[in-house]
């Protein structure tokens, strides 16, 4: 018997997305939001089928994403934020709990939640990942969410 494979493509027609974005480090996060919207629209998602919900910071993202997932209005959720280490241990709590919370919500809700929360040591590193030098993680997170929607739809 021949093997078969399941994969998700990047066709976005008819799909609905929520983008959950933190306002902390907002100049950087808004570049991620713009990248995510652009990537989704380029892949066939109607801009009217994309909702952007903003919360104070990365700490609040899990609860916002949980409510968006429970609404059953979206095929997937793109979580975007920016946590910069600076010189405080606050970073580890905010970044760690955000990542753990997002993973738990995606597993419990079975709604794809992609992780576009930058965690960097410096502002320069964050800017590089928000479209300056090292791509745009908002784009990557949007495409990962779209791929997961289509992958799970084929199982
Ligand atoms: N929130 C962020 O999204 N990024 C950060 O770098 C950050 N730092 O460094 O503190 C941050 N803190 C705020 C946090 O997300 C909450 O909004 C706040 O603690 C209120 O609950």
pLDDT in tens, the chain (155 residues): 789 999 999 999 999 999 999 999 999 999 999 999 999 999 999 999 999 999 999 999 999 999 999 999 999 999 999 999 986 788 999 999 999 999 999 999 999 999 999 999 999 999 999 998 879 999 999 999 999 999 999 99
What per-residue confidence (pLDDT) applies to 82? Answer: 97
Residues 6+ apart with CB under 8 A from 49: 14, 15, 16, 17
What per-residue confidence (pLDDT) applies to 87? Answer: 66
Ligand 1 atom, smallest distance to 25 CA: 4
Ligand 1 binding pocket, CB closer than 6 Å: 22, 24-25, 56-60, 81-84, 90-91, 94
Ligand 1 atom, smallest distance to 56 CA: 17
Residue whose C-alpha is closest to residue 142's, from 30, 43, 46, 27? 43
- Structural domains of the chain, ranges and CATH numbers in brackets: 17-150 (3.40.50.960)
Q: Which of 20, 64, 83 to mutate to test the pocket of ligand 1 (most atoms within 8 A of CB)?
A: 83
Kind plus residue range of the DSSP H or E element containing 30? helix 26-42
What per-residue confidence (pLDDT) applies to 106? Answer: 98
């Amino acid at each position: 018997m021949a093997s078969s494979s399941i994969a998700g493509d990047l066709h976005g027609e008819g799909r609905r997305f929520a983008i959950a974005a933190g306002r902390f480090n907002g100049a950087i996060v808004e570049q991620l939001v713009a990248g995510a919207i652009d990537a989704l629209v380029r892949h066939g998602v109607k801009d009217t089928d994309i909702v952007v919900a903003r919360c104070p910071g990365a700490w609040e993202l899990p609860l916002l994403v949980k409510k968006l997932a429970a609404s059953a209005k979206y095929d997937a959720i793109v979580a975007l934020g920016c946590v910069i280490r600076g010189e405080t241990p606050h970073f580890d709590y905010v970044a760690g709990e955000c990542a753990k919370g997002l993973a738990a919500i995606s597993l419990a809700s079975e709604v794809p939640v992609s992780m576009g929360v930058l965690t960097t040591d410096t502002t320069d590193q964050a800017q590089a990942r928000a479209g300056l030098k090292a791509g745009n993680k908002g784009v990557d997170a949007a495409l990962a969410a779209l791929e997961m929607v289509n992958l799970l739809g084929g199982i």
